[in-house]
Structure 1
């Protein structure tokens, strides 16, 4: 759809509508027409017309100051077979991991060069982390992301490197050589650790969920305060949960 563009804006109606929808980011409860124009480059009259049509389908909802994503998108998201089956299979395992650790638990998948979070169970004493169900983070600086990279399909690392390694914190692995060495260690250990690479003050341990070929289709993690959570201590529990989910998914194939 984006192959035909003018000044970075898709020419087709569908392309422009999708551009407006994907302009929303994590933490955006709503956006004004002016902000949507700034982010997308779509002219305000065109954006206003398209948003009106999307509102008619409940894909967006109008507010006194702008628009927000609508309930219909939420409903459609839950109809996606792969994510729905994955989330359903993971639910009891994630609940067990949460009860065993009382730390924030994540289930995530890779989409392009980013992580998309499918489930999140928030620990009662854990830090506030910038993740949310449906939210995105870079692959290279998150525990789940590095697990997905280390056991991902061929070419995924090249795509991440081609897009650049954004430095989110002083500890982010922003050099290709350092990231390659870290991924090799993850493949040896079977788990990935993050130490304040995505957010200052947090640490994480993650493990990949593998299909029958040994390729990661998801990742499971726990996250906590860097001065309180010992990732090595909880690594076996995280890996056990990921292995259990791997077996459950293969049994359904």
Structure 2
């Protein structure tokens, strides 16, 4: 990005770029990494971060900055996401009961998946949190699925913010891999020995993906084809529920 282009960006756009640096599975980022991803000079990033901390949009952690409680509170007031989460929860729970795996609902933000609902399971009695490996694997599988369906991704209506600057150094799926995902109808991803995920699209009436369902758990205990079949069955019911909810998703 040139100096002239950087100067032309408004302060609001710069602040949003900083908030948009966080990706699924990342709880904290160093100031230098936030500045790099947002393509901002460190002094500018430091000043904006201080203002975001004062507003409660960011918090200081042990190893860097994390998204703040005020941002979460604001997000819970978004009626579309709240209604989607409430509507999707019985379907996520049904998938969890079938597989005993963690189940996630993602919405497309451009080609990036945004986590909108979850039911965690597997080990222990606490189903309110999932391992970072599960979350990251599910998000990566969902991202591959959205990229494989790039021409048909439905608008999310979430007010997409363009990501600027370099992305995190993760392997991008090759064109051949994306073609295979499109052909088989599901995507897989793995993040370490404890994070394996399978994702399938939730389609609208025109066949475009309006959401993504993903199941994640220990890879050696996950059967991709069987899990994808369960996800598709649950996804059909969720698609019908979403399309019957007036104003929730575009129905074509």
Which 5+ residue runs of structure 1 have no aligned equivalent?
A: 157-165, 187-191
Which 5+ residue runs of structure 2 have no aligned equivalent?
A: 125-129, 155-168, 247-252
Partner of 1:210: 203
Deviations 1:101-147 (A, max 9, x none): 211211112222322222232332499453549x9945xxx1x3454
Question: Cα RMSD between the aligned structures?
Answer: 3.7
Residue 248 (str. 1) matches residue 241 (str. 2)? yes
Shift of 1:8: 4.6
Partner of 1:179: 178
Partner of 1:162: none
1:98 to 1:15, Cα distance in 2 relative to 1, 3 A: same
* 1:109/1:148 contact within 8 Å kept: no
d(CA) in 2 for partners of 1:131 and 1:229? Answer: 12
Partner of 1:113: 111
**Higher alpha-carbon deviation: 122-131 or 242-251:** 122-131
1:214 to 1:8, Cα distance in 2 relative to 1, 3 A: same
Shift of 1:149: 4.7
Residues 38-49 of structure 1: pairs in structure 2 closer than 5 A: 38-49=36-47
> Bigger relative contact order, structure 1 or 2, given CA contacts below 8 A and separation 6+?
2
Q: Which is higher, the Rg of structure 1 or of structure 2?
A: 1
d(CA) in 1 for partners of 2:216 and 2:60? Answer: 36
* 2:53/2:59 contact within 8 Å kept: yes
1:245 to 1:47, Cα distance in 2 relative to 1, 3 A: same
Deviations 1:37-86 (A, max 9, x none): 44444344433332333233221234587543211111222233332222
* 1:148/1:217 contact within 8 Å kept: no
d(CA) in 1 for partners of 2:90 and 2:28? Answer: 33
d(CA) in 2 for partners of 1:242 and 1:229? Answer: 18
Q: TM-score when scaled to structure 2?
A: 0.71
